[in-house]
Structure 1
Amino acid sequence: MISRRQLLTNAARLSAVACSGAGFSLTAQSSEADRTLRLYNIHTGEHVTSTFWSNGHYIDSELQSLDLLVRDHRANQAIAMQRELYQRLFDLQQLFAAEQPMYIISGYRAPHTNRSLRQGSSGVAEGSLHMQGKAIDIRIPGVSHRHLHQAAIAMRAGGVGYYPNDGFVHLDTGRVRRWTS
């Protein structure tokens, strides 16, 4: 759980970002610092702790371990996800001082998986950016979905979908837009 002090600090940071009109990125403040993600795939039960950025460079083997974790578990297929998604996950993890791994609901989706999911839900886009490695659905234990949604919007980068009834937030690297389902 995030402490009251951390929540107030994070809220002040979000307010400053929203008022400044600038896009939000913690990583821009310290480009040389290591960036480590702690992720948990809710479907496979797999955990990864990965330092995907160190000494000012991406680490390919670490990116591959992240890509494998966020693979289409139904088809057991992985592709190289857009690095910007991992940067945004890192920023959110830092913002909320997340102590537990971030939960991955959906990362990459093979086209046939997307078609199958689309048949069962109106919330799955026909041309989903998940199929291109440009979208990810997440939740952070101990962080309200509403606060996560607000923080993602404050980044002003890509699409942000809010699925409060399903318990996750969608992030993508497409054009800036937002929606609620």
Structure 2
Amino acid sequence: MNMNKHKLLSFSDEKGEIVLSKRKFLKNIVYGSLLAIGGSTVAEARIGHFPSHKTLSFEHIHTGDRLRLTYFEQGRYLRDALAEINYLLRDFRTGSVHPIDTDLLDQLYDLKLLLGIRRPFHIVSGYRSPSTNAKLRRASRGVSKHSLHMQGRAIDIRVERMDVRLIRNAAIHMARGGVGYYPGSDFVHLDTGRFRTW
């Protein structure tokens, strides 16, 4: 494996010296290997880099809605852009709209950078109203009673022509929030809860 393609995550202490725990170092080697096995060149992670703007592209598989917009610019989230994202990620079964956690959007943005994604994220599920979640839970044991989808803190995604294993591996590499892998349904779940995988 060419380690130059996989920059290890690190942070600086008060003196500006690079600090990386042994556990974090080993974990990043493992996840870097998983990404390499996935067969894609991983874009350099820009740790500590604060972009002047952040742009995302979405396509909802159930509604056909498409959106490409900048949601963060010059140090602030753009209210109108967030409203458009909230609408696109609405509960398509009931039409209910709910604010989407900006941390979740930033997670998607960082995933896009990490994988060098140029295509839109295909949305399988965004916000879910409590009634929709209850209905889905009755139909499937895989739906949590306290799903973060009901708080606008979870999303189920895929990317056209990209193996969902690669998306899962990259999300695990980021170690932020929950990462659920559903190869049978061809999607990955991301949320802004504590870091965990299933």
TM-score, normalised relative to structure 1: 0.85
Equivalent residue in structure 2 for 1:160, among 157, 161, 179 = 179
Report the residue type matching 1:55 in the other structure: Q
Q: Which has the higher contact order (CA 8 A, sep 6+)?
A: 1
Partner residue in 2 for 1:176: 195
Contact 1:160 1:172 in 2 (8 A): yes
1:7-156 aligned at under 5 Å gives the runs 12-13=6-7, 16-17=8-9, 19=25, 26=45, 28-156=47-175
1:3 matched to which residue of 2? none
Runs of 4+ off more than 4 Å: 8-11, 25-28
Deviation string 1:21-68 (CA, Å, 9 cap, x unpaired) is 68xx95653324210000001000000011001111110110111111
Cα distance, 1:62–1:145 mapped onto 2, change above 3 Å = same
Identity %: 40
Structure number with greater Rg is 2
Contact 1:139 1:169 survives alignment (8 Å): yes
CA–CA distance in structure 2, aligned partners of residues 55 and 82 of structure 1: 19
**How many residues are treated as equivalent by the alignment?**
168
Q: 2:65 & 2:26 partners in 1: Cα distance?
A: 39
SS in 1 for 2:194: coil
Matched to 1:98, the amino acid is: I
Distance 1:32 1:56 in 2: 8
Q: Report the Cα distance in structure 2 between the residues aligned to 1:10 and 1:77, rounded to whole angstroms.
A: 46
User: In the aligned structure 1, how far is the partner of 2:74 from the partner of 2:4?
Assistant: 27
Contact 2:99–2:152 at 8 Å: present in 1 too?
Answer: yes
What amino acid sits opposite 1:12 in the alignment? H
Work out the CA distance in 2 between the residues paired with 1:38 and 1:167: 19
TM-aligned CA deviation for residue 96 of structure 1 = 2.0
Q: Is the 8 A contact 2:164 2:187 kept in 1?
A: yes
- AA paired with 1:126? K
SS in 2 for 1:151: helix
1:156 to partner: Cα distance: 1.1
Structure 1: gaps (5+ residues): 1-7
TM-score normalized by the length of structure 2: 0.78
Cα RMSD between the aligned structures? 2.2
Secondary structure of the residue that 1:52 maps to in structure 2?
strand
Q: Report if the CA contact (8 A) 1:105-1:139 is conserved.
A: yes
The 8 Å contact of residues 115 and 170 in structure 2, kept in 1 or not, is answered as no
CA distance in 2, matches of 1:160, 1:50: 25
Query: How far apart are 1:11 and its partner, in Å?
Result: 6.0
